[in-house]
Amino acid sequence: MLSALSLPAQTPHEIEQLSVSERPASGTLEIRNDDKSKLYGYDYHYLRCHWQVDPAVRYIGGDVLTRFTVIDQPMTEFRFELYKDMEIQKIVYHLNELNYTRSGDYDVSVTLPTTVVPGTADSIQIFYKGVPASNGFGSFEQTVLNNGPVLWTLSEPNGARDWWPCKQDLNDKIDSVDFYITTPVGNRVASNGRLVTVDTLTSGVQYHWRHRYPIDYYLIALATTNYAEFIDTITFKDGTKMPLHNMMFPEYEDNWRAAMPNVKQQMLFYNDMFGNYPFSKEKYGHAQFGWGGGMEHQTMSYMINLSYGLTAHEMAHQWFGDKITCCSWNEIWLNEGFATFLTALCQERFFPDSYLDFKKSIHDNILSRTDGSVKVPEGGDVNRIFSGRLTYNKGSYLLHMLRWELGDSTFFRAMRKYINDPALVYNSACTEDLKDHFEAESGLDLDYFFDDWFEGQGYPIYHLDWYQNGDGTLNLSLSQETSHPSVSFFRMHVPILLKGKNGIDSLVVFDNTLSNQQLVLPVGFTVDSIFIDPYYSILCQSTVQKTSAVKGNQKQGSLMLRPNPAMDKLYLTLNDKRQISDIMVTDMNGKLIKKISATGFSGEINISALAAGTYIINVIADKTTFVGKFIKL
């Protein structure tokens, strides 16, 4: 169980615990991203649910009215999912009871009296009751804690059908919902949206929660116990106010009230970074439950406590996970990687002195094994879906590295356009949608990056050899191997810190486009030591070695460049009978400026478009690197 955190944000171990707490629904997972709207033939619009629950009893009863529109093909049967041990009392369609059949553990088919044509809006009402399953990690839980009996739901990823009749389709959000939930007097009910009424009935007290934003099936939730309750208020920069609705076990009320300044700090920060809280016309809130972490139920996260890192993570999901939801469980990093990344942003913004240590701990956790992709493979189970090392940490580091590669202004501009894209807002998105935004803002083709870091496994292992000439010129040779054969080479900008005596240092960036790449730098001080990636900007391991001369296969004397300096054309002669395979021109910081095809190369290089300055040229011939320097006038 995840207890209150002593640090301002999660360590990798605590994130691993959090990821375990978010593994709720079943021991095996339906990974394949079927479009169930097309499979089932309808589009969700509205739910009206009446539920009776008692925190002292593992049971739910009631009815679910579903309004929908038929799509694509004429409909002759209405299909939904409900656990086989739940009793269906009756199914009502146009005031008539209909017959149904059940198959497997969940599938239910209702034969319609007439064929319904595409485009028709229709509705059906299902009455049911029973003892829901709690497959694996707690889709429907009832227990007794210190404050007394408590009942809650947690449906991610496939647990909704354990306790209510639904269609589990990530790509078909329900446009709006009304929940009428009755519980014995003395208890309160926490759910999605805004609390409309609380009525005392002969059967108990009924809470009416109304939500008027699109919501995915797994984000629907209810919880009930003898909650204490308080409603705080957050004021946004434009002067508008919104309730912060909190329900907690009575003995924790003081702790939860004390956490409100942090909650407001985080929400205002996210608002500034990514746009207004997505459900600002209703509320944000927290309901305490007995699970060892948190769950981002839309507008009301269920929490074990309000520790800083946990609140930052679950609140971040209201943007990344709820406003825009992953289109497939294969791509759940779009939920969890983003929430982990936003937690790191809070650490960077409000606890900068410990931010580097925080990143290092995440970095080292990912590198504790040499394999594993961010993308969840087909057939993965719940443990793989909610892997703290891969889905949460490596997913977040994919974003850290994109930020490093693109720069802050481009990176955050792309993120803001993604999270506010009208085609994606209150809908679902795939990794390709995110990639499109980063490419549009940067003007770069990022296929290589997502191939390596989203689908590929492992990380680069760098080896740097260096020496300094008497004239101060620094010679660097960077080679790379990879920790997993799925990626043969990671193309990255590698930060290299040069440290000299008397506190002098300089950070250079090596645009690493091939192994055994050479860089020659004029340095105005004597270099004492060199460090690769000192600020944990990328995922890598590295070794650095000072040598007395160039190691490996680098040669300089056999390469001739003329004229030098040059204005428009440069002529390259290689006094060595080897087959040239690559020619690259970099600036003095190692940034790739020009790559020249060796096919049909005559020795002439057009440099007219280059800015005036000094450049390095690397010529690869039969696995040997020849390095030269020229001046463009």
Q: Three-state SS for 495?
A: strand
Q: How many CA atoms are closer than 13 Å to the CA of 53, on its beta-carbon side?
A: 32
User: How close are the terminal C-alpha atoms of the chain, in Å?
Assistant: 66
**Contact predicate 468/526, CB 8 Å:** yes
Give every residue of the chain whose pLDDT is below 70, as ranges.
1-38, 136-137, 549-558, 575-577, 589-590, 623
Q: What is the CATH number of the domain that holds 398?
A: 1.10.390.10
How far is 607 from 590, CA to CA, in rounded Å? 17
Residue 388 domain boundaries: 325-455
In a domain, 527, yes or no: yes
**Contact predicate 489/480, CB 8 Å:** yes
Q: In Å, how far from its chain's centre is CA 118?
A: 36
**343 shares its domain with 430:** yes
In a domain, 417, yes or no: yes
**72 shares its domain with 193:** yes
Q: Three-state SS for 454?
A: helix
In a domain, 275, yes or no: no
In which order are the strands placed within the sheet that holds 204-211? 96-97, 87-93, 121-130, 57-70, 42-54, 176-183, 204-211, 194-201
Query: Encoding tokens for residue 223?
Result: 């919880």
Instruction: State which amino acid sits at residue 346.
Output: C
pTM of the model: 0.86
Say which residues have a Cβ less than 8 Å from residue 524's Cβ, sequence separation at least 6.
472
**What pLDDT, on a 0 to 100 scale, did the predictor assign at position 558?**
66
Query: Encoding tokens for residue 586?
Result: 């970099």
Q: How far is CA 36 from CA 215, 327, 425, in A?
A: 16, 12, 20
Give the Cα-Cα-Cα angle 599, 603, 605 (nearest 5 degrees): 95
**What pLDDT, on a 0 to 100 scale, did the predictor assign at position 495?**
95
**Contact predicate 286/298, CB 8 Å:** no
**532 shares its domain with 617:** no
In a domain, 12, yes or no: no
**79 shares its domain with 203:** yes
**513 shares its domain with 427:** no
In a domain, 294, yes or no: no
**Contact predicate 153/25, CB 8 Å:** no
Total count of residues recorded for the chain: 633
**394 shares its domain with 447:** yes
Say which residues have a Cβ less than 8 Å from residue 69's Cβ, sequence separation at least 6.
42, 43, 45, 119, 120, 121, 122
Radius of gyration of the chain (CA): 29
Q: Comparing C-alpha atoms, which of 349, 362, 90, 40 is closest to residue 217?
A: 40
Q: What is the CATH number of the domain that holds 67?
A: 2.60.40.1730
In a domain, 133, yes or no: yes
Give, as one character, the DSSP assignment of residue 376.
Answer: P
Give, as one character, the DSSP assignment of residue 320.
Answer: B
Which residue, of 505, 521, 546, is where some domain finishes? 546
**437 shares its domain with 521:** no
Q: At what angle do helices 333-350 and 431-442 cross, to 10 degrees?
A: 50
**Contact predicate 100/91, CB 8 Å:** yes
- Cβ of 419: how many Cβ atoms within 10 Å? 21
Q: Comparing C-alpha atoms, which of 481, 547, 555, 469 is closest to residue 512?
A: 481
**What pLDDT, on a 0 to 100 scale, did the predictor assign at position 585?**
87
Q: What is the CATH number of the domain that holds 511?
A: 2.60.40.1840
Which residue, of 192, 226, 260, is where some domain finishes? 226
In tens, the pLDDT along 6-18 reads: 233 454 445 555 5
**179 shares its domain with 47:** yes
CA dihedral in degrees (33, 35, 36, 39; nearest 10)?
A: -120
Q: Three-state SS for 567?
A: coil
In a domain, 524, yes or no: yes
In a domain, 286, yes or no: no
How far is 132 from 127, CA to CA, in rounded Å? 14
Counting the structural domains of the chain, the total is 4
Say which residues have a Cβ less than 8 Å from residue 595's Cβ, sequence separation at least 6.
513, 582, 583, 584, 585
Which residue, of 226, 242, 266, is where some domain finishes? 226
**46 shares its domain with 150:** yes
**492 shares its domain with 359:** no
Instruction: State which amino acid sits at residue 396.
Output: S
**96 shares its domain with 111:** yes
**What pLDDT, on a 0 to 100 scale, did the predictor assign at position 39?**
80
Q: Which run of H or E residues covers position 437? A: helix 431-442
In tens, the pLDDT along 66-77 reads: 999 999 899 999
**507 shares its domain with 621:** no
**What pLDDT, on a 0 to 100 scale, did the predictor assign at position 311?**
98
Instruction: State which amino acid sits at residue 586.
Output: T
**What pLDDT, on a 0 to 100 scale, did the predictor assign at position 117?**
97
Q: What is the CATH number of the domain that holds 593?
A: 2.60.40.3080
Say which residues have a Cβ less than 8 Å from residue 257's Cβ, sequence separation at least 6.
230, 232
How far is 484 from 411, CA to CA, in rounded Å? 28
